Structure formats: C-alpha cells, structure tokens
Structure 1
Amino acid sequence: MGANGTTSTPADGYVDPNWPDPKGKNDIRIIIYGYTPSFSFAVFAAVWFFLMLAVHLAQTIRYRSWWFIPFSVGLLFEIIGYIARCLSAKVDPYNLIYFILNYFFIVVAPVFLAAGIYTILSALISRLGSKYSFLSPKVIMWFFVLSDVISTITQVIGAALIGIQESKHKDPTVANNILLGGLAYQVFSIGVFIVVTGSFLARAGHAIKQRGLSAFCVVFASATLLIYMRTVFRLAETAQGLNGSIQSNEILFACFEFAPVAAAVLLFAGWHPGRCLGNTVSGTEVTGEAERNNWDKA
C-alpha cells in the first residue's frame, strides 16, 4: 500500500511533502486521490487484470460464448484504469488527466462486469426451465441490461463532469451527486438481481444438481455478491465526496474496490460460463457438458 494510505488530508486537499507539485500543463495544486498512489499495487492490479483478460478472451473464443463478451470489456476498462494509476504513482500524482482516466475506467468497469453476470442468469433459466423463475430470460435481459445502460450513462456523465470541474478549479459537488445517483441506481438494480437470482437458485436446486451445475452456481452467486460489495463501497465513498475519509485511504480502495473484482474475475476464469453453459444465452446449447461435470465433481 502507499505510504500515505492513511495520511490525514488538509481541508483544501492532500499535498505530498516528499513530492512537490511539478506544475506541469495538466497539473493541479493537490493530489485528488487523497494520497500518493502505490506504484507496486497499481502495477500488480494492471498485470492481474491483463492476465485475467487473456484467460477470459481465450475461453470466450474457444467456446464461442460471445454473449459473455461484456465481461472482457470490463476487464479492459480495469486495465486502462490501473495503467493510468501507474502513471499517477510513478510519473506525476498531480496530473489531472491521469486521475480522470484512472477514476473513469475503474468506476465504470464493473458496469460491464455486471452486464456479463446478468446474461448468466438468463442462460441458466433457459437451460433449467423458466418455471423456476419469476421473470423470463427476456425480461431479465431487457430490465437489467437497460438498468446497466442507465447506470453507465449516469456514471460516465458524473465522472466526466468531475474531471471538468476539477480542471477548472470549480466545486465538483453537483458532478459528484450525478455520479452518486448512477451508483445508487446500480446498487438498487444489482440488489433486485440478487433477490431474483436467489429465488431462482433456491427453486431450481434439484435441476441444478441434475445438470451438474452446482459448483458453477456457487461461483455465480459468489461473484455476484463480490461485485455488489464493490458497488456498495463505491456508493459509500462517493457519498462522502472527494477528500472524504474513505476516498483518501488506499488500503480501503485495495480491499473493497480491487480485491472483490479481482476475486470475481478469477472465479469465472476457473468456471467460465462459456464452458459451463455453452455458446448461447437462450436454447439448450450445452457445449462442454463433460468438462462442466468434471469441474462440478472436483
């Protein structure tokens, strides 16, 4: 973690006493992170998500599970975000462009990860039977993907406006509230999704065992809760605003932003939906059924 992970932040923002402001073209007078980011952590995170992207893309291509491609898009966003964080940590923590790229891509990445997770439930319902679900696969796809779109647009606007306001040295409160609204809606929609998913998995328990999908469903539920945990953390952080105690602590960022997402993508790398469920969202395609059963027994 960064040496300044728990450093108190002055009322007007954090300034690293060991790293004077280089006063470059895109520099501002404070470090918006609330600390000087750890270079080793940022590199580790970027490498982790790069490896996970390679694993996910390889399996997506092998099993032709193009319906799960939003998950890989989310991983790409994570990589870009942490590369920008590396630049902040190593080159210039006062650089506004580096901060905006880091903030934007890391905040928005889980929206695409959630979109991939939503398609998994639709695929499970199609394979196990709609009688176990209160909602049809089409309704689930339309409602939750539309919710993702609304959440994404709101968060993108909020994150962009924060960058614009900071670049003009103006109060970013309104922009932060827009981002807060997008995150709040995402927490709501994922919460509804968890209720719908929990109900379906409970009612379809016997069918899940018969189809050899028990291990995959445990992974699916765990990854969903991990992404939800991360979104709740971001909501709490944004509610405090810039320079809040949560936003100004890199240890909390690593534990509740990076770690849950890193664990979720690792789980799906081991139990990839393309191998476990097949290459279509609807229908009865069960590509890799033998492999799925072997993983389940393991």
Structure 2
Amino acid sequence: MPASLQPARYYPPLLTTTSTPTSISISMPRAARRPPPPSPPLLASVAFVCRQWPRVEALDHVTRELDALLDCSQLWTLARASGAGLEHLVARIAARDAQILRRMDKLQRQALATTAMAAAAANGHVAVLRLLAEQLFPCARVTKAVETAARNGQVEVLQWLHERQEALDVFWGAREMLVAVRGGHLDVAQWLHRHTSPPEHQFLIDEAARNGDLVMIQWLHGVAAFGGHFDILDFLHREGLASCTADVSIKAVAEGHLEILEWLFLHYPEPIPSGRLLRIAKRHDLYCVDWLVRTGKAVDYDMW
C-alpha cells in the first residue's frame, strides 16, 4: 500500500498527568542598603531664599547644589576654623567630612584632633575646644593643646582642661612650664606650679635670665626655696639674681628645709619675720623650732 494511503500511527505521550505543573520561585536575599550619611544643614542664606520659592525648596538636589555653590567652608580646614574660634564653621566642616573621618584610623584621627585642639587652645577658644574634645573626638588624647595654651598665656584654657582632665585624658608634664617661663607668662607659671607637677630639669632660670625677666627670676627663687633646692639658691645669689621675701622663708620653714632656712638667715637676715617663723615651725617642723631658739633667731615666749 502506498505510504500516502497508510493510516496515521498513534504515539502515546511520554508523560501523562492530570495536574498542571506549578512554577517554583526562589527568593534571593537582598543586600541591605546602607543609609546615606547625614548632610550638613543648608546655609542660612540658601534656606531663606528657597523658602520663598516652595517649588525650588521641594527639590532637595537643587537646594543642595545651591548650597555647595555658595559654601565657603571648602576653603577652610578644621585646624584653621578652630584657631579662628568659629564654632559653627567647625561643626559644618565636621559634618561635611564625616565620611572621611569615619575612614580614618586611630592615629590619623589623633593627629587631626591634636592639630585642631592646639589651634583652639592657642587662641583661648574654650567653646571650640569643648566641641572638639567632647563631641567630635571624644576618644582622642589632649596633648599639644596644653603647651600652646601655656605658650600664649591662656590660663582659662588650662583651668578648663584641668577640670576635665579625667574625662578628656589630658597629658601634663611636658614643656608647658618651659614655654610659659620663656614667654614671660608669670600667671601661667604660677598656676602650673600650684596645680601640676612640672619636670625639674628644664633650665627655667636660664630661660628667665635670657629674657631679662627679673620678676620671673624672683618667683623662681621662691620656688627653689620651697622645694629645698640649695644649689639653685646659691647660684642665684652669686649671680646677683636672688632676693628674699617673707614668703620665701615661710615656705622653707613650712616644708622643713632647715638648710635653706640657715642660708636665708645668713644672706638675707632683714626681711625674715622670726616670730612668725617660730609659730609656723611649731606646726610643721620641730628641728626648725630648735634651731631658731638655739641660735637666738627667735624667742619662744611660751617657754617663759
């Protein structure tokens, strides 16, 4: 039979099912998007002008472009703004460079904080120093700011740092006393002597003598008597730089420096109030009392 007249063959389906296959969807986890960093606030001039045009104010990207066009903070560094005492500008620069600050390692942040704090302290800007130390760089150590404040005679800055020294991790005992004496800031030197423990190997007398600062030399002479530094007193006396006041001898007695007291009576007998010394010595040092009575420098009327 011809192929054209043969009946069509039936081929059964390979897979028979009564249900329609369902599609399986696999949901992949989406990567969490990091929120964009907060932008610094608009300049007051830009915000005021855009507020007059609500259609412009509604376009955030347009207001940001205007703000960037008129923003002069791009010309300032953090240290320069801190030295000028512009607190609002310091905050704006920190907000502008927030991403850069976050990418810095610990040493880089410390270096930036040291430079900015030193600039603020040198010019007496306590408000800017507070912003830097407590908000922008809370983990940084305050080091160079102490020296620059002492060099420029900024006692208020030193007082604020001393009050906050535990919270801010302030480092004392470097060159602050040296630069204060070198700059002739007697009030700073006296404050540092009362509240800190400066090193004793910084040749402070040489610096004061080099500057011809007689008032500073006389004060250092009293400090030497208070600390029992006989060699310094003797050197100052031989060079004609020493002088004695009642306070010098009283401090020597209060600290129990009998050798200093003998030296003072030998070279400066007139200004020493012997009766007052005896009363102070009774409260502090019996050896000084014995020497004052035994040598006849003071009469103890309580014995009679």
Please tell me the TM-score bracket, short chain as reference.
under 0.3
What TM-score results when the alignment is normalised by the length of structure 1? 0.18
Specify the structure having the higher radius of gyration (Cα): 2
Q: Which has the higher helix share?
A: 1
What TM-score results when the alignment is normalised by the length of structure 2? 0.18
